[in-house]
Structure 1
Amino acid sequence: MYEGTIVQNNKAINMAAATKSWFLLITLSVIAIYLPAFVDNRSLTIIGALVIVVLKGQQIVDIFMELNNAPKLWRTLFLSYILLVPLIITIIYLV
């Protein structure tokens, strides 16, 4: 009986975090859509879009995949992938 209460409380906490994260993801998506309209510099637009990709990826890894509670190796691997791919794309476009 005690374990069920913990699970229910955990689900409530995760649902609240997931809802906040979902709103953040929607907001970042809208910003990414309108970013080229407000930033004239192509390089800044690309960097801004890639920063948004990193932020969204971090939210997905930590909140929706729940890797913030996983072993450090797995979380580190996923987060490094999220950082490395946009970094490589940024270097390619800026060079």
Structure 2
Amino acid sequence: MSSINTNKKNTITWLLLLLFTVISVYIGEVLELFTTQKSLFIGAVLFIVFLKGQQIIDVFMELKYAPKLWRRLLLGYVILLPIIIGIIYLV
């Protein structure tokens, strides 16, 4: 892959991560004010955490084409950690 394509892909991913961050802050402000369902707020934010983690692993850490074991271990962490945090906050 050429350097220009890599830089473009990294820039697009970086902008996507910024967008996810802005969306999670917006969700935090709007849903916290207008809903009493804490589970909806926590679920939405933790889903965004998962999406951001997946992008970081695949694009910035370049594990999309790495050995499957390493990618699966890190994606497992990105899946498991939000689940644990969600359980802690919802119980």
TM-score range, shorter chain: 0.7 to 0.9
Structure 1 residue ranges, 4+ long, deviating more than 4 angstroms after superposition: none
Counterpart for residue 66 of structure 2: 70
| Alignment RMSD | 1.2
Q: Tell me, which stretches of 5 or more residues in structure 1 are unaligned?
A: 1-8
Within a 5 Å distance, the mapping from 1:6-21 to structure 2 comes to 9-21=1-13
CA distance, structure 2, for counterparts of residue 10 and residue 76 of structure 1:
26
Counterpart for residue 81 of structure 2: 85
The amino acid that maps onto 1:76 is R
The amino acid that maps onto 1:29 is T
Q: What TM-score do you get using the length of structure 1 for normalisation? A: 0.84
Q: Tell me, which stretches of 5 or more residues in structure 2 are unaligned?
A: none
Q: What TM-score do you get using the length of structure 2 for normalisation? A: 0.87
Counterpart for residue 26 of structure 1: 18
CA distance, structure 2, for counterparts of residue 10 and residue 68 of structure 1:
17
Offset at 1:10?
2.6
Larger radius of gyration: 1
Identity of aligned residues (%): 48
The total of aligned residue pairs comes to 87
Offset at 1:89?
1.1
